[in-house]
């Protein structure tokens, strides 16, 4: 199968066209236009990307297999967990959110739950202490703040 | 002799207690990073950049720390080649050929020691080469005008895939993507907003450190989960070291030849460390001929690629420091660090920041010596650490990378971007689009556009200025050759490398 490259090439071609068209719509710089404005370089780029994308569609390489659906969901959840961690640092606090993320990742990578929790708590607490005391960079405590 | 004076000043910088401790710390961290399967030098340096920032280190200290990490990672890469038959990164591939058979014969410790010595010789010779060549190239590069620089940037992208590159158009796509990401934000010369869509956070553009960590480290995490690689791999036991002076003398000539070849291929655009170790190994096999037992655990078969690999790693610093054009993934990441420290590499670097450059070069010497001294007695400890399974390690690495990024700006948005780049990196790797040109595009984009506009401003909009000097025409010719040659020669060279490794 050589579907990957064709689909990705098409996406890149669309991106190239949008990127190029958007560049022509830049407002004229303050003080009149010059021989090379802010749009010149992006237009060149959109041509390069467009031509390469067309080549990719015409001469695709053999596909690398995508993971099965359950694995894609797994990867999606992984990304979501990191996003949640990022969000939670400020609201729930660094230690708790880092503990949750590291434990979850260890567990999903095949460690047993007890060991995952140990790694999670040790790493989150030690990084917190390292940053707040040794490096003097305040990471939020969140809910643990008394 | 001017150079010697500068170098002595450099040693004065590198031998202070502070610098020395950073060099030692960097060497240890680097060896670990290089040794861990799946991390690799580019990754490791990328993760440590935000940390160096948040530590508030001075430019010199952070550079010394990270060059030591870079040197250390090159050392570390061989540990998994020899013990597991799995190269830590691409250049370490050739070390598997004789290193793993040696380990199987119960000579793992000797293989590790020989490779450490060869690595040291490779780096040492190449650093001397760097000292001689860099100032000459920097002086020459002062002749470059904006149109020459534009051609040089084009050359950097064209040759990035290297002679062994698979699909040149995919390199171009990657480079274009990186350059396009770089164009997001307020245009410096005209003040026009480009692709910001009134989102305040995009006005300053996308931070390439975030992109690097996302593209490399986070996408690596996804791959680990997908491949269920959490448990790590079985490995060979390390025996007690029995190395005689005779053995060291035996690999000496091999290491010297490998070092020189490696250095040359490191300096040349498009060759890089992979080719360095490949050429060194192939040549050594030819020179020794039937007297050797190459492929079955010959010491010289370990020494040659290691010397070549490390020689190339130091050689790659020459174009990076003097022209601001990196030749490999890891040097691209080192360039990222320089740029974020507000240091513009290029010919002026040797004049404006002479103390820094020479401090770094001296640090390379010190770092390599530290590595040699560390590696022979401490190899057992590194091997132990290597046996920590990725299922415990990768989550911690992810946490450290995230904290590093968070500590720079204290904004969750940066981390969202990091995850986004991680997903992008995963998809790009799935369609076999290389990641390094994306990074290089983001790094060089602003400079490349600036030189184009500068050139066209001088010529009043006449595009012929890009080709009006002998120098720029030469650069364009090399660029075009660099783009086309791999399509013709590439399959042949790759087939040969494949044959050798099988």
Residue B308 pLDDT level (bands cut at 50, 70, 90): confident
Answer whether residue B1 shows pLDDT above 60. no
Judge: A66–B430 Cβ closer than 8 Å, yes or no: yes
Structural domain spans, chain A: 3-58, 69-144
DSSP assignment letter at A47: H
CB neighbour list of residue B99: distance below 8 Å, 6 or more residues apart: B78, B81, B82, B111, B115, B301, B302
Residue B338 CB: number of other CB atoms within 10 A?
25
Q: Quote the number of domains for chain B.
A: 1
**Cα(B290)–Cα(B300) distance, rounded to whole angstroms?**
13
Beta pairing partners, B193: B186
Answer whether residue B157 shows pLDDT above 80. yes
The per-residue pLDDT for B372 is 86
> Read out DSSP for A55-108?
HHHHSPPPPPPPPPHHHHHHHHHHHHHHHHHHHHHHHT-HHHHHHHHHHHHHHH
Q: What is the mean pLDDT of residues B199-219?
A: 84
Q: Is B376 contained in some domain?
A: yes
Answer whether residue B500 shows pLDDT above 70. no
Phi, psi for B397 (deg, rounded to 5) = -60, -45
**Contact by Cβ (8 Å): B185, B192:** no
Answer whether residue B179 shows pLDDT above 80. yes
SS (H, E, C) B251-278: HHHHHHHHHHHHHHHHHCCCCHHHHHHH
Q: Is B168 contained in some domain?
A: no
The per-residue pLDDT for B272 is 62
From chain A, pick out residues whose CB is under 8 angstroms from the CB of B180.
19, 42, 45, 49
Q: Is B474 contained in some domain?
A: no
Give whole-number Cα distances, B366 to B193, B196, B212, B323, in Å. Answer: 46, 45, 28, 24
Answer whether residue A78 shows pLDDT above 70. yes
Answer whether residue A54 shows pLDDT above 70. yes
From chain B, pick out residues whose CB is under 8 angstroms from the CB of A82.
218, 398, 402, 415, 418-419, 422
Q: Which two tokens stand for residue B104?
A: 């199987």
| Burial label, A21 (beta-carbon count in 10 A; 0-12, 13-18, 19+) | exposed
Q: Per-residue pLDDT tens for A109-125?
A: 888 899 999 999 999 99
Which member of B173, B194, B412 has the closest CB to residue A26? B194
- pTM above threshold 0.90: no
**Cα(B254)–Cα(B259) distance, rounded to whole angstroms?**
9
| Burial label, B363 (beta-carbon count in 10 A; 0-12, 13-18, 19+) | buried
Answer whether residue B17 shows pLDDT above 80. yes
Interface check for A126 against chain B (CB to CB < 8 A): the answer is: no
Which member of A40, A53, A110 has the closest CB to residue B230? A110
The shortest C-alpha distance from A17 to chain B (Å) reads 13
Q: Which of A24-38, B27-41, B227-241, B317-331 has the lowest mean pLDDT?
A: B227-241
Q: Is B183 contained in some domain?
A: no
From chain A, pick out residues whose CB is under 8 angstroms from the CB of B390.
109
Q: What is the ipTM of this complex?
A: 0.91
Average pLDDT, chain B: 81
Q: Per-residue pLDDT tens for A33-47?
A: 566 778 888 999 999
Q: Is B239 contained in some domain?
A: yes
The shortest C-alpha distance from B320 to chain A (Å) reads 24
Residue A3 CB: number of other CB atoms within 10 A?
10
Q: Per-residue pLDDT tens for B109-141?
A: 888 888 888 889 998 999 999 888 888 888 888
Q: Per-residue pLDDT tens for B38-73?
A: 666 777 777 777 777 777 778 788 888 888 888 888
**Cα(B11)–Cα(A64) distance, rounded to whole angstroms?**
49
SS (H, E, C) B113-155: HHHHHHHHHHHHHHHHHHHHHHHHHHHHHCCCCHHHHHHHHHH
Q: Is B304 contained in some domain?
A: yes
Mutate to test the interface with A, among B147, B169, B397, B424 (most CBs of A within 10 A): B169
Residue B154 CB: number of other CB atoms within 10 A?
22
**Cα(B41)–Cα(B76) distance, rounded to whole angstroms?**
9
Judge: B173–A52 Cβ closer than 8 Å, yes or no: yes
Interface check for A56 against chain B (CB to CB < 8 A): the answer is: yes
Q: Which domain holds residue B22?
A: 2-153+207-410
Q: Is B80 contained in some domain?
A: yes
Residue A52 pLDDT level (bands cut at 50, 70, 90): very high
Q: What is the mean pLDDT of residues A16-29?
A: 85
The per-residue pLDDT for B230 is 62
**Contact by Cβ (8 Å): B82, B103:** yes
Answer whether residue B306 shows pLDDT above 90. no
**Contact by Cβ (8 Å): B66, B26:** yes
The shortest C-alpha distance from B429 to chain A (Å) reads 9
Residue A104 pLDDT level (bands cut at 50, 70, 90): very high
Mutate to test the interface with B, among A13, A52, A122 (most CBs of B within 10 A): A52
């Amino acid at each position: 199968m050589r579907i990957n490259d064709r689909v990705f090439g098409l996406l890149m071609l669309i991106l190239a066209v949008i990127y190029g068209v958007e560049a022509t719509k830049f407002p004229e710089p303050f003080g009149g236009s010059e021989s090379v404005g802010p749009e010149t370089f992006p237009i060149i780029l959109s041509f390069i990307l467009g031509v390469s994308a067309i080549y990719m569609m015409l001469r695709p390489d053999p596909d690398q297999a995508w993971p099965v659906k359950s694995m894609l969901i797994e990867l999606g959840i992984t990304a979501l967990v990191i996003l949640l961690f990022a969000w939670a640092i400020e609201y729930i606090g660094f230690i708790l959110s880092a503990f949750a993320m590291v434990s979850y990742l260890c567990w999903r990578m095949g460690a047993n739950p007890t060991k995952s929790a140990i790694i999670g708590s040790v790493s989150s607490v030690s990084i917190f202490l390292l940053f707040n005391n040794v490096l003097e960079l305040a990471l939020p405590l969140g809910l643990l703040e008394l | 002799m001017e150079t010697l004076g500068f170098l002595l000043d450099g040693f004065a910088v590198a031998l202070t207690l502070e610098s020395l401790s950073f060099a030692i710390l960097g060497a240890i961290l680097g060896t670990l990073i290089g040794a861990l399967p799946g991390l690799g030098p580019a990754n490791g340096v990328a993760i440590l950049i935000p940390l160096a920032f948040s530590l508030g280190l001075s430019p010199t200290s952070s550079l010394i720390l990270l060059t030591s990490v870079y040197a250390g990672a090159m050392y570390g890469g061989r540990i998994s080649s020899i013990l597991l038959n799995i190269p830590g990164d691409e250049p370490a591939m050739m070390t598997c050929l004789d290193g793993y058979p040696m380990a199987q014969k119960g000579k793992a410790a000797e293989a590790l020691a020989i490779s450490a010595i060869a690595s040291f010789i490779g780096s040492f010779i190449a650093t001397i080469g760097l000292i001689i060549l860099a100032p000459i190239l920097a002086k020459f590069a002062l002749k470059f005008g904006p149109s020459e620089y534009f051609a040089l940037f084009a050359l950097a992208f064209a040759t990035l895939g290297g002679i062994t590159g698979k699909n040149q158009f995919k390199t171009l796509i990657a480079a274009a993507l990186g350059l396009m990401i770089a164009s997001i934000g307020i245009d410096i010369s005209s003040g026009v907003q480009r692709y910001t869509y009134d989102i305040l956070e995009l006005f300053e553009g996308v931070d390439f450190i975030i992109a690097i960590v996302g593209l490399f480290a986070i996408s690596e995490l996804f791959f680990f989960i997908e491949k269920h690689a959490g448990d790590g791999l079985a490995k060979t036991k390390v025996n007690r070291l029995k190395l005689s002076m005779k053995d060291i003398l035996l690999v000496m000539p091999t290491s010297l030849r490998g070092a020189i070849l490696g250095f040359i291929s490191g300096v040349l655009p498009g060759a890089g460390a992979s080719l360095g170790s490949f050429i060194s190994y192939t040549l050594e096999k030819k020179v020794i001929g039937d007297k050797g037992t190459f492929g079955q655990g010959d010491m010289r078969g370990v020494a040659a690629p290691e010397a070549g690999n490390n020689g190339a790693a130091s050689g790659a610093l020459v174009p990076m420091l003097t022209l601001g054009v990196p030749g490999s993934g890891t040097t691209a990441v080192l360039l990222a660090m320089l740029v974020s420290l507000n240091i513009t590499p290029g010919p002026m670097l040797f004049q404006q920041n002479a103390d820094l450059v020479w401090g770094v070069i001296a640090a390379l010497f010190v770092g390599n010596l530290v590595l040699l001294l560390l590696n022979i007695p401490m190899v057992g400890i590194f091997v132990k650490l290597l046996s920590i399974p990725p299922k415990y390690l990768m989550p911690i690495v992810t946490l450290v990378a995230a904290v590093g990024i968070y500590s720079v700006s204290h904004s969750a948005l940066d981390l969202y971007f990091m995850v986004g780049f991680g997903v992008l990196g995963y998809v790009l790797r799935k369609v076999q689009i290389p990641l390094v040109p994306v990074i290089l595009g983001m790094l060089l984009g602003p400079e490349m556009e600036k030189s184009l506009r500068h050139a066209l401003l001088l010529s009043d909009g006449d595009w012929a200025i890009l080709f009006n000097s002998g120098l720029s025409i030469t650069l364009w010719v090399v660029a075009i050759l660099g783009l086309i040659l791999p399509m013709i020669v590439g399959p042949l060279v790759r087939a040969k490398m494949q044959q050798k490794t099988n």
